[in-house]
Amino acid sequence: MLLFRFTLFFLLIAAGVCFAFYIGTGKAYFRQWGLIILKWTVIAALGFFGVLILERLL
């Protein structure tokens, strides 16, 4: 449980760093990486909360 929380937290930090690099440099590939990381973070979070909800129901 704690591992998943740290993973989600660090993925959000990594996406934020990518967006900060994009703002600082203007290079489009930092924005692209940030969006990819953010997308997979949302997918991981939905899976995590889905497991928690199923655990509560069962």
Task: Spell out the per-residue pLDDT of the chain, length 58, in tens.
Answer: 788 889 999 999 999 999 999 999 999 999 999 999 999 999 999 999 999 999 999 8
Q: Which pTM does this prediction carry? A: 0.84
One-letter amino acid of 53: I
> Are 7 and 29 spatial neighbours (Cβ–Cβ below 8 Å)?
no
Which structural domain range is residue 7 located in? 2-57
DSSP string, 1-58: -HHHHHHHHHHHHHHHHHHHHHHHH--HHHHHHHHHHHHHHHHHHHHHHHHHHHHHH-
* pLDDT of the residue at 2: 86
* pLDDT of the residue at 47: 92
